[in-house]
Structure 1
Amino acid sequence: MSFLKAEWRKLAIANYEIDPALLEPFIPKGTELDTFQGKHFVSLVGFMFLNTKLLGLSIPFHTNFEEVNLRFYVKRLENDIWKRGVVFIKEIVPKSALTFVANTLYKEKYETLPMRHTWQVDGQKRTVTYKWKKKGLWQSFMVRSEVDPTIIGPGSAAEFITEHYWGYARVDRDTTNEYEVTHPKWMQYEVTGSEIDVDFGKVYGGPFGFLDQRSPSSVMLAEGSKITVEGKRTLK
């Protein structure tokens, strides 16, 4: 049985090129940084969890909720096959029970904060906004797009960002947790504009404060799908 089943929907994704040296302290043992066209990226990702079940059970008041995370991309060689995955700097949700479970069982970096979102369609324009409140100040990530989704092309930056099917968490310098995430290939919406009002240093820590003055290399809006998160495996 999958550890978690849900839908991830309307994933707003802002991708920033980053100096790999800044990511070195966060790389789990047994993995290495993954690149797209020789460049390293971190991504700010906001989306909705819908119809969430843990071990097949719906938890009251924990079925539908927002998440915003900051993540980067790694790969791990196993049996001559590269596993492509993500590592989270921080994952923000409005539900404390989920934070407790994820941090305790998976050694992830969840934080519970007040959150809200809006999804709007006006004619041929779609607007998706995610907000979270840190130390009394609302942070926000808004994306505008066309209404109809399109296919994510093979070999594209969007494919690189969305086609990582493993999660890795650094337990300590010698131990890594690995878990599989399953979902079909996603569709995306053509982005026509975005607004990012985030104090990266305050939310994600000093090393990422430089993102306040950095424009993203690209912004995406993916439709998402049903997903599963499988049980963890500890690597040493």
Structure 2
Amino acid sequence: MIDRMTPSRRPGGANAGTQRWESLLFCHWEIDPETLRPHVPAAMDLDTFQGRAYVGIVPFKMRDIRPSWLPRRLAFNFLETNVRTYVTHNDRPGVYFFSLDASSRLAVIAARIGWALPYYYARMSVDDSDDTSRYQSVRRGGAAEHRVSFRVAEQLGPSAPESLEHFLFERYLLFVEKKGRVFCGQVHHEPYDVWTAEVTEMADQLITAAGLPELGQRPALAHYSPGVDVEVFAIRDTGVMR
């Protein structure tokens, strides 16, 4: 039985840093678990909802980012877009990232060295000038682009436990392979205030750049959250070899 509530509780001790995630657009596509399985490390199990697996793209604003030792006045901001799916490791539910594009070279270098996460530098922009928001990203060298426009629709509020929304959004652990071992990182924040979203335009190359099959240019599900304040805790070795 997978315990989906314990990871949402704040771990003891001091955090390693804080940040704010703002204006998140969660786009999800359903994918055949057998098609997805070869793209996820063997040490991790696919996490499915009623037998269905999902791939997500999440563009958002990273704000007020700082490690715990850095003065607040020196915190920095950037844009990010990640491609993800959902996994379990030792029956703990979390996120597995196929890629993370960021508009900060410093963030890319730090995350690759410190967390072994597949970050890429990209030119990114966001436009919130009217009732339609627009994110755009072009990975360095033009290797992959992503463009999406959307409107916020109906407020759903915090996700109910055991719902699909809770399965997709309330993820507090990430798993990554590093030097042949599985590591786990944890974050803590209040539950997302979730809204439905209407995607009015999308052009994506990030999914296929990750080696996944083409899933279509419009997501099956689109949701929005205005944001959460986040505590980040140090990544830890799970003691499991690949």
Instruction: Note the 1:84-233 alignment, pairs <5 A.
Output: 84-120=93-129, 122=130, 126-134=131-139, 135-136=141-142, 139-146=146-153, 150-172=157-179, 174-200=180-206, 204-205=209-210, 207-211=211-215, 213=216, 215-233=218-236
Q: CA separation of 1:148/1:164 partners in 2, compared to 1, >3 Å: closer, same or farther?
A: closer
Percent identity, aligned pairs only, is: 22
> SS of 2:34's equivalent?
helix
**CA offset at residue 152 of structure 1?**
2.8
**Unpaired stretches in structure 2, ≥5 consecutive residues:** 1-13
Distance 2:124 2:206 in 1: 16
Distance 1:92 1:62 in 2: 19
> SS of 1:210's equivalent?
coil
TM-score, normalised to structure 2, is 0.82
Distance 2:109 2:47 in 1: 29
Q: What is the CA RMSD across the aligned residues, in angstroms?
A: 2.5
Q: What code does the residue aligned with 2:147 have?
A: S
Q: CA separation of 1:84/1:201 partners in 2, compared to 1, >3 Å: closer, same or farther?
A: closer
Instruction: Note the 1:68-83 alignment, pairs <5 A.
Output: 68-77=81-90, 82-83=91-92
**CA offset at residue 190 of structure 1?**
2.8
* Contact kept? 1:149, 1:223, Cα under 8 Å: no
How many residue pairs end up in the alignment?
A: 224
TM-score, normalised to structure 1, is 0.84
Q: What code does the residue aligned with 2:100 have?
A: E
In the other structure, the counterpart of 1:15 is: 28
**Unpaired stretches in structure 1, ≥5 consecutive residues:** none
CA deviation vs aligned residue, 1:158-184 (integer Å, no higher than 9, x gap): 211111110111225x41111111111
**CA offset at residue 22 of structure 1?**
3.8
* Contact kept? 1:10, 1:128, Cα under 8 Å: no
> SS of 2:128's equivalent?
strand
